[in-house]
Structure 1
């Protein structure tokens, strides 16, 4: 099925997890896909496996965003699907939070998202779709995740404003808020095998559907929101969490 044939799709943070799963789905649906990431070896390997294009780019650095937009526009023209996925987490109580960790999270999750969108707007085709990765923690709370939650709440606000500002060009802007998804997040935070299993079991216990989500399921939601079938959907946050937020 080639519903995205002749469509150009950019996926930031596309070398693993939800970004990789989304790039895979969009590629299978016929899109020409560009993935980005901060580690050249990781994005090159992912691009080789997926059969897509890799561009080295750190969403926390404005000069990298400028270079990304310039390279994409020069090589591919205007963009039809922009999935702003790159993000980081980090745990700390409010009392013990540090300016360094605060800035690290917000430079990628908030500032980076804002300027990635801002810089790409002139290079989006009319009728394009923008999807931004948020989180169920944008509207719920968890101890030690105050900065992460706030960064995602900011994303939801940006999405609504962008949807209003870009509506005249028929560009739709939505966010998705995953719950527990099977990614490398916790291993990247340094958890050992036993801790990872314990966390996995705990997350399953909090999910009514009885399992955690798959990265490709995020990709399927991004694909739907970017399709003609979703042409009347904009400015909305879409929760995909197996029902955990209703508990």
Structure 2
């Protein structure tokens, strides 16, 4: 039997990157996985990659509360509740302090903080007792990378949420943890740069900063997500698991 046999999971931002890799891994371990994201084309491709019998896609934006209501209604209609929630969806953009606009701030905190908060709050009625909630943080919450201040602050808020919610939900046996991925080979990472050449140079620079000498593969982050989702981490809550190749550790 798989580590999540018979369980139901939700991955936000499940169409690509870490979200898709995590949804694949959970499905391979026996879970039925709901995925959500803003782009239907990506979600349809993700369902095909995961397997239509084990994945359900619901198009939506986590910063839109009506979309979250539709998502949880679909999960409720399946009748088995929710055992794993991976609040993965987030956005990132480089903007130095002097160029930060209201729009830049509002969209980052609207998705990464407000969206994460209501993703978890609105899940509470369908979360089964003993469920696992995983929040996608970042090593940037601990560092002062130039031009990444708003993103880093939003991820520091995510880390704080994990601590508070772990305390608030302990009475139901619900564990809440964060993961802190280091630089990972995803479309989102490439999208931080203007073109393919700049993206390649940027990734080469990031890899040079990692003690293991390379970027993470999405599947490596997904393995950590699976650990926190499963009973193998049954005595872990309120923590932040660094999956960063030693970037913030050495």
TM-score by length of 1: 0.97
Q: Provide the aligned length of Structure 1 versus Structure 2.
A: 247
The answer on 1:68 being equivalent to 2:74 is no
Distance 2:79 2:47 in 1: 16
**Partner secondary structure for residue 166 of structure 2:** helix
Tell me how far 1:75 sits from its aligned partner.
2.1
Structure 2 counterpart of 1:224, from 224, 227, 232:
227
Distance 1:196 1:95 in 2: 23
Equivalent residues of 2:162, 2:238 under 8 A apart: yes
Match of 2:99 in 1: 96
Distance 1:37 1:104 in 2: 16
The answer on 1:201 being equivalent to 2:197 is no
Equivalent residues of 2:138, 2:180 under 8 A apart: yes
Tell me how far 1:161 sits from its aligned partner.
0.7
Match of 2:17 in 1: 17
Pairing 1:47-66 to 2, within 5 Å after superposition:
47-51=47-51, 52-66=55-69
**Partner secondary structure for residue 114 of structure 1:** helix
CA deviation string 1:98-150 (max 9, x = no partner) = 00111111111000000000000121111100000000111111111111011
The answer on 1:236 being equivalent to 2:228 is no
RMSD of the alignment, in Å?
Answer: 1.2
Tell me how far 1:68 sits from its aligned partner.
0.8
Equivalent residues of 1:8, 1:76 under 8 A apart: no
Distance 2:44 2:29 in 1: 21
TM-score by length of 2: 0.96
Match of 2:5 in 1: 5
Pairing 1:155-194 to 2, within 5 Å after superposition:
155-194=158-197
Tell me how far 1:190 sits from its aligned partner.
4.7
Equivalent residues of 1:24, 1:216 under 8 A apart: no
Pairing 1:105-184 to 2, within 5 Å after superposition:
105-184=108-187
